[in-house]
């Protein structure tokens, strides 16, 4: 073979290799582009699914994403699932007032409601907020436990005698000692309070409209009877976005009474004559748990003392107590 023929063959061989390299590079580029396209589609699909998931959780949390982490077991209440019992409105009529009552059987999911429209209407929580306030106090370290620290009486004499003394978190809940919880709120501070009320998914989670030590009495914070039930069930299940320790302590200090075969836990709230009266909580009876929320118009001061007996009578009528 002449040098000239060898050179021509060498040139053709080199050109063939270069062509194959170009084809290989093009193929690799095509594969790479397809991989990136598949990845982008997968990411978009994943984000879409995540968005749907967040939307579902927000719906379970009452329209906000706060508290959505705890919505898995404590399902939202809906009118479709509620059994309205208008004949039970007689309990309120006999008192000369109007009100609503919601009860939920945790085991069966059965929901009973008196005045469903009112059950959806938000009202200021008044002293029922002490449940959330106690949780936040424990979560922030303002209270170490149910019995520490001792919150010293400020020396001002008030009309409710039980307020005129030192208190722990436990005794302050039992006495519904407003001055103690106002001091607790001031120690927590506005920013931490705002963040943790949102984190709990409590009502509309708006602490504006009044100072940090009065927003649950005269501010923008509102909660409905239905929302009270959802909040209480999450608390019972240890599903609120605070420590299980804080939830266990608050559940312990919410005890109102123990009877034969049952325990009643809850918290009252009221704004005085002309305002709203609350009693919310649950009954533990063997393996069964029944959540309840009552609010009524306080057309007279006598009705303040009727809240707990009315709830017990309604629960008895429904076979829950």
b or e along 125-149 (b: 16 or more beta carbons within 10 Å of the residue's beta carbon)? bbbbbbbbbbbbbbbbebbeebeee
Q: Which two tokens stand for residue 61?
A: 């949390």
Choice among 70, 127, 224, 270 that is catalytic: 127
- Which of 177, 287, 244, 133 is CA-nearest to residue 166? 177
Residue 295 CA to residue 280 CA, distance in Å, equals: 8
The question of whether 55 is a catalytic residue gets the answer: no
Q: Are 149 and 231 in contact (CB under 8 A)?
A: no
Chain centroid offset of residue 300 CA: 31
Q: Are 85 and 114 in contact (CB under 8 A)?
A: yes
Residue with tokens 């002449």: 2
Q: Are 293 and 265 in contact (CB under 8 A)?
A: no
Neighbouring C-beta atoms of residue 46, cutoff 10 Å: 10
Q: Which residues are catalytic?
A: 127
């Amino acid at each position: 073979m002449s040098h000239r023929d060898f050179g021509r063959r060498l040139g053709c061989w080199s050109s063939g290799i270069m062509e194959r390299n170009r084809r290989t590079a093009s193929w690799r580029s095509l594969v790479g582009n397809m991989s990136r396209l598949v990845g982008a589609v997968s990411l978009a699909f994943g984000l879409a699914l995540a968005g749907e998931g967040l939307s579902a959780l927000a719906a379970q949390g009452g329209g906000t994403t706060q508290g959505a982490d705890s919505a898995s077991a404590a399902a939202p209440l809906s009118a479709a699932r509620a059994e309205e019992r208008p004949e039970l409105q007689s309990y309120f009529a006999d008192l000369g007032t109007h009100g609503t009552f919601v009860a939920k059987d945790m085991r069966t999911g059965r929901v009973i409601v008196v005045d469903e429209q009112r059950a959806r209407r938000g009202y200021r929580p008044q002293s029922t907020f002490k449940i959330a306030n106690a949780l936040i106090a424990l979560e922030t370290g303002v209270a170490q436990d149910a019995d520490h620290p001792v919150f010293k009486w400020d020396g001002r004499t008030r009309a409710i005698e039980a307020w005129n003394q030192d208190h722990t978190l436990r005794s302050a809940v039992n006495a519904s000692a407003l001055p103690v919880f106002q001091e607790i709120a001031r120690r927590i501070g506005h920013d931490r309070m705002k963040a943790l009320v949102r984190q709990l998914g409590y009502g509309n989670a708006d602490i504006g409209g009044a100072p940090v030590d009065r927003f649950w009495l005269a501010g923008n914070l509102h909660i409905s009877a239905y929302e009270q039930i959802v909040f209480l069930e999450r608390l019972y299940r240890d599903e609120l976005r605070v420590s299980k320790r804080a939830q266990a302590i608050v559940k312990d200090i919410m005890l109102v009474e123990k009877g034969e075969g049952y325990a009643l836990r809850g918290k009252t709230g009221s704004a005085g004559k002309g305002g709203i009266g609350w009693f919310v909580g649950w009954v533990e009876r063997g393996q069964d748990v029944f959540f309840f929320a009552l609010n009524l118009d306080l057309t007279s001061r006598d009705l303040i003392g009727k809240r707990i007996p009315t709830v017990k009578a309604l629960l008895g009528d429904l076979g829950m107590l």
